[in-house]
Amino acid sequence: MSPLVMLLILLGAAVVMFALNRPRMDVVAVIMMVCLPFTGVITMSEALMGFSDPNVVLIAGLFVIGEGLVRTGVAQRLGDWLSAKAGASEARLVVLLMAIVVGVGSFMSSTGVVAIFIPIALRIARTASIPAGRLMMPLAFAALISGMTTLVATPPNLIVHAELIRQGYEGFGFFSFTPFGAPILVLAILYMLVARRFLSPGEAAAPAQRAALANWVQDYGLAGRERRLRVRERSALVGQRLDTLDLRASAGINIVAVERPARLRRRLIQPRADTVLEAGDVLLLDLRSGGLDIDGFARRNGLDEIPVSGWWFTDTAQEIGLAEMLVPPGSRLVGRTLTESRFRTSYGVGVIGMKHGSKPVPEAVLDEPLRAGDTLLAVGPWRAIHKLQNEKRDVVLLDLPAEAAEAVPARHRAPLAVGVLALVVGLMVSGVVPNVQAALFGCLLLGLFRCVDMNGAYRSIHWQSLVLIVGMLPFSLALQRTGGVDIAAQALIDVVGDAEPRLALVAIFALTAVLGLFISNTATAVLMAPVSVAVAAALGASPYPFAMTVALAASAAFMTPVSSPVNMLVVGPGKYRFIDFVRIGVPFAVITMIVCAFMVPVLLPF
């Protein structure tokens, strides 16, 4: 049996396993790495060469940079801005949603972008009474189109770029894809403004299941009990430690949080014994003592009162949160007050609300003896609240508010994350350093500025995608050595004949898109990139239009829900059927192919 036949058998087996999704894609890639050396075409060292490929490291670095944008809430703020600007107009919402998703997806994983924007879109759909299905598919299409905008937007772009360099060509620039992605985005928006009417036309968005912070504020009778006081420059409290002041014992005041002005924004500080008050600090007080003269306290200590409403916790939901907890039978807290049990010291959160059964305790919760079955409303940093999930003996975490899913741990470092992203993009565009070096430099800066931590960085990397790329890259080398690439290229040329090279572009686009129905767009790009370059060489044409066509076609995975992980993510929230993607996606994939066939030769001449 010839090496080429053995190689084609392996390739066919891989395609079948990819199509069946049995086993997982990364496992299939490892199987191929193990089996390819048995063909005698490549060595084991060459089968593992993907691990040293700079583009694999670059993709990993881009995952980490995307995590920095998530942890600092940059994408979340864009979603909030989207909700405010769109208002109740569904058409405006679709336009802004698709534009923002493409903008964010230009610099991070499209799958990650969709994961971020699904809850945002669902929340907006509930607020505006729009069926969620009308937003989910525009979201998925925009995420796929984001792969057509920059060099680093999606792995297939980097794979095609690397293949050009491997063949001795210059490769694509950072924004080489943008002239094609921008008009396709405009067409997609216009298309979706019409096609969305055929998606879930009668379904209303489901209401949120979790309680919001504002609901708890009302249930526990907190509205009107919170007060905010700003510390003046000449206040007697400036420079004082909280344990020295002991306001809880001396004045009956429970400090829930300290808002401290920062250079770019305010930040919330969890009150601790060693916290030193500064001029300009704003103290959030929880008043549970009916006889307290808070106005007199403010005058005596040089404090200014600031209005506060029950929505304060909702407004600050990114920094500070609430959690509902139960005191179980047998807890050491039973029979003791919160003050006696040093609850804040033990758990890092303070209690501002209490219920005996279903009845809220109106005053002095800190001095109320706890009973088995009491529910407590605790306030504190999200990291402290999440630690309570592991506590089962003395308190049991009952519920988190809906805002918990949207909280980000490093929101105040958002300007730093945006600055690092701008620097990385600038380095890539200028070409001062290689792209992979720019991405790694950005990762180090994000870690230095504490926009990401090491555990979060490692978790953010989609290892399955990286192993898939590493496992499939040796196929390119093996197919070239056995003549498989030349055979595939000649077959395409025989189909097209002596017709205009544009037909060759159409054939390459169609073949790439069809392969993408069965295997991932990453694996498709690995297989088709060398074929496109070979077709160009056989026609005596420039390789750039053919390579660009492969990259654009790999991102045009609109036709089925299994064509891309992006599509699979929106199937559930959008309540789509398989046929929904076929009837909406296939026409737009054809539109994209026609646009590419006309635009690519104009901007990248043969």
Q: How far apart are CA 286 and CA 308, in angstroms?
A: 11
pLDDT-above-90 percentage for the chain: 8
393 assigned to some structural domain: yes
499 Cβ neighbours under 8 A, 6+ residues apart: none
> Quick one: pLDDT band at residue 200, thresholds 50, 70, 90?
low
Q: How far apart are CA 84 and CA 132, in angstroms?
A: 18
Q: Under a CB-based contact definition with an 8 Å cutoff, are residues 273 and 199 in contact?
A: no
98 in the same domain as 182: yes
Q: Under a CB-based contact definition with an 8 Å cutoff, are residues 190 and 95 in contact?
A: no
Q: Under a CB-based contact definition with an 8 Å cutoff, are residues 287 and 225 in contact?
A: yes
Whole-angstrom CA distances from 547 to 15, 298, 449, 537 are 22, 70, 38, 12
221 in the same domain as 199: no
What's the token pair of residue 296?
A: 């007199």
> Quick one: pLDDT band at residue 352, thresholds 50, 70, 90?
confident
Please compute the mean of the pLDDT values over residues 496-525 and round it to a whole number: 78
Place of tokens 């926009």: 451
494 CB burial (10 A radius; 0-12, 13-18, 19+): exposed
Beta bridge mates, 230: 282, 304
3-class SS at 379?
strand
Its sign, for the CA torsion 170, 175, 179, 183, is: positive
Residue 482's φ and ψ, nearest 5 degrees, are -90, 0
Residue 398's φ and ψ, nearest 5 degrees, are -85, -45
For residue 369, count other CB atoms closer than 10 A to its CB: 12
Place of tokens 């350093």: 433
> Quick one: pLDDT band at residue 367, thresholds 50, 70, 90?
confident
Task: For residue 176, give the DSSP letter.
Answer: T
359 in the same domain as 290: no
**Range(s) of the domain holding residue 253:** 213-315
325 in the same domain as 301: no
| 202, pLDDT greater than 50 | no
Q: Which of 315, 347, 375 is the last residue of a domain?
A: 315
> Quick one: pLDDT band at residue 182, thresholds 50, 70, 90?
very high
3-class SS at 147?
coil
Q: How far apart are CA 528 and CA 30, in angstroms?
A: 20
Q: How far apart are CA 201 and CA 196, in angstroms?
A: 8
> Quick one: pLDDT band at residue 375, thresholds 50, 70, 90?
confident
Chain segment 134-150, per-residue pLDDT in tens: 888 898 899 899 989 88
Q: How many helices (H) and strands (E) does the chain have?
A: 27, 10
Q: What is the pLDDT of residue 371?
A: 83
251 in the same domain as 191: no
Residue 286's φ and ψ, nearest 5 degrees, are -110, 115
155 in the same domain as 86: yes
Q: What is the pLDDT of residue 88?
A: 65
| 210, pLDDT greater than 50 | no
539 assigned to some structural domain: no
Assign residue 271 a region (left: φ > 0; alpha: ψ between -120 and 50; beta: otherwise).
Answer: beta
DSSP-assigned letters across all residues of 583-602: HHHHHHHHHHHHHHHHHHHH
576 assigned to some structural domain: no
Q: How far apart are CA 44 and CA 34, in angstroms?
A: 8
Least confident range from 39-48, 300-309, 506-515: namely 300-309
What's the token pair of residue 115?
A: 């994961």
Q: What is the pLDDT of residue 225?
A: 57
203 Cβ neighbours under 8 A, 6+ residues apart: 131, 132, 133, 575
362 in the same domain as 231: no
95 assigned to some structural domain: yes
Rg of the chain in Å (alpha carbons): 29
83 assigned to some structural domain: yes
CATH number of the domain residue 375 falls in:
3.30.70.1450
87 Cβ neighbours under 8 A, 6+ residues apart: 128
What's the token pair of residue 516?
A: 């993408």
264 in the same domain as 155: no
Q: Under a CB-based contact definition with an 8 Å cutoff, are residues 323 and 388 in contact?
A: yes
- Mean pLDDT (the chain) is 78
499 assigned to some structural domain: no
Q: H helices within 406-520, ranges in order?
A: 414-430, 435-448, 454-460, 463-481, 484-496, 501-515
Q: What is the pLDDT of residue 291?
A: 53
Dihedral over alpha carbons 408, 414, 417, 423 (to 10 degrees): 160
138 in the same domain as 72: yes
| 287, pLDDT greater than 90 | no
591: Cα separation from own chain's centroid: 29
* Burial 20-32, CB ≥16 within 10 A → b, else e: eeeeebbebbebb
Q: Which of 343, 376, 406 is the last residue of a domain?
A: 406
Q: Under a CB-based contact definition with an 8 Å cutoff, are residues 100 and 78 in contact?
A: yes
145 in the same domain as 238: no
Closest CA to 61 of 433, 477, 393: 433
For the chain, the domain total comes to 3
Least confident range from 190-204, 413-427, 504-518: namely 190-204
Q: Which of 406, 436, 470 is the last residue of a domain?
A: 406
> Quick one: pLDDT band at residue 207, thresholds 50, 70, 90?
very low
63 assigned to some structural domain: yes
Q: Is the peptide bond before 23 cis (omega within 30 degrees of 0)?
A: yes
Q: How far apart are CA 94 and CA 188, in angstroms?
A: 11
Please compute the mean of the pLDDT values over residues 2-13 and round it to a whole number: 84
44 assigned to some structural domain: no
pLDDT-above-70 percentage for the chain: 79
Q: How far apart are CA 253 and CA 284, in angstroms?
A: 10
The length of the chain is 606
Q: How far apart are CA 260 and CA 257, in angstroms?
A: 10
Residue 260's φ and ψ, nearest 5 degrees, are -120, 125
What's the token pair of residue 233?
A: 């420059």
Least confident range from 368-382, 406-420, 547-561: namely 406-420
| 407, pLDDT greater than 70 | no
Chain segment 74-121, per-residue pLDDT in tens: 766 776 677 777 766 778 888 988 998 898 788 766 766 776 677 677
Assign residue 221 a region (left: φ > 0; alpha: ψ between -120 and 50; beta: otherwise).
Answer: left
Chain segment 460-486, per-residue pLDDT in tens: 777 776 787 788 778 777 877 887 767
Q: Under a CB-based contact definition with an 8 Å cutoff, are residues 96 and 142 in contact?
A: no
pLDDT: which is higher, 605 or 307: 605
385 in the same domain as 292: no
Closest CA to 177 of 451, 515, 544: 544
Q: Under a CB-based contact definition with an 8 Å cutoff, are residues 69 and 449 in contact?
A: no
Please compute the mean of the pLDDT values over residues 386-399 and round it to a whole number: 74
Q: Is the pTM of this model over 0.75?
A: no
Q: Under a CB-based contact definition with an 8 Å cutoff, are residues 560 and 584 in contact?
A: no
For residue 415, count other CB atoms closer than 10 A to its CB: 14
301 in the same domain as 434: no
Chain segment 556-578, per-residue pLDDT in tens: 888 877 667 677 667 767 777 77
Please compute the mean of the pLDDT values over residues 326-334 and round it to a whole number: 81
